Amino acid sequence: DAKTTQPPSMDCAEGRAANLPCNHSTISGNEYVYWYRQIHSQGPQYIIHGLKNNETNEMASLIITEDRKSSTLILPHATLRDTAVYYCIGRGSGNTGKLIFGQGTTLQVKP
Amino acid sequence: GAVVSQHPSWVICKSGTSVKIECRSLDFQATTMFWYRQFPKQSLMLMATSNEGSKATYEQGVEKDKFLINHASLTLSTLTVTSAHPEDSSFYICSVRGRTGELFFGEGSRLTVL
């Protein structure tokens, strides 16, 4: 599974878009990029995943660069409840399904 | 609604006792479940992969005799921390792989060993 690199922390103003970057320069062709978040003292919550096309759902958008070496998770209108640790994870489609978590980015949404 | 349910959500026990944590898949049958552990201010660490009807696969450095995993049915996996000690105090989280590949996580079980 690809090693990912994320900034340890970021701030975002409430109501503004939060753009969380992730580098995954060693990702292989069949590895998906998954994003999860963990609000304090809760289990991680699935946000979105993608392979090479940009993806959007009700929670967020995922922009993957053409060379697939990096991606950005976009929360279009951040709220205080979006304050959490965000994890970017590379995972192959053919493995057992386990996810290996890195240190993630702590996003602080401020009023 | 919740896809994965864990019980108990928190437990306090005395040193030397054993504690069982349950993980239930509510929406679908799960042949594979995963157990994670998280210490304060740290990321999640994968402990083991629980396989229905067979032995669990443990990650390197995780003692299989210390952390007993049983996956007796397609909707239930249990983690038993045997002879718990204060250093076993942690947040234990299970997860289940959904039909389209994403993992769903339980709400976690916080264990405090006195």
Among A48, A68, A43, which residue's Cα sits nearest to residue B44?
A43
Q: Do A43 and B32 touch (CB under 8 A)?
A: no
pLDDT tens by residue, A38-92 = 998 899 999 999 999 899 999 999 999 999 999 999 999 999 999 999 999 987 6
Contact A71, A22 (CB under 8 A): yes
Residue with the bigger pLDDT between B31 and A80: it is: A80
Which of chain A's residues have a Cβ under 8 Å away from the Cβ of B102? 34, 46, 49
Which of chain A's residues have a Cβ under 8 Å away from the Cβ of B101? 32, 49, 93, 97
Query: What is the per-residue burial (b if ≥16 Cβ within 10 Å, else e) of B50-79?
Result: bbbeeebbbbeebeeeebbbebeeebbbbb
Mean pLDDT of B71-90: 94
Q: Do B102 and A46 touch (CB under 8 A)?
A: yes
Q: What is the pLDDT of residue A9?
A: 97
Which of chain A's residues have a Cβ under 8 Å away from the Cβ of B34? 97-99
Q: What's the mean per-residue pLDDT of chain A?
A: 91
Q: Do B97 and A104 touch (CB under 8 A)?
A: no
Q: Is B77 at the interface with chain A, CB within 8 A?
A: no
Q: What is the pLDDT of residue A97?
A: 65
Please give, rounded to a whole number of angstroms, the shortest distance from the CA of A77 to a CA of chain B: 24
Rounded Cα gap, residues A28 and A11, in angstroms: 31
Residue A106 amino acid letter: T
Q: Which residues, listed in sequence order, are joined to residue A73 by a DSSP beta bridge?
A: A20, A62
Residue with the bigger pLDDT between B29 and A72: it is: A72
Instruction: List all residues 6 or more positions away from A78 whose beta carbon is below 8 Å from its beta carbon.
Output: A12, A13, A14, A15, A16, A17, A18, A107, A109
* Three-class DSSP category at B30: coil
Contact A60, A79 (CB under 8 A): no
Helix (H) or strand (E) holding B16: none
- Residue keyed to tokens 């993980």: B23
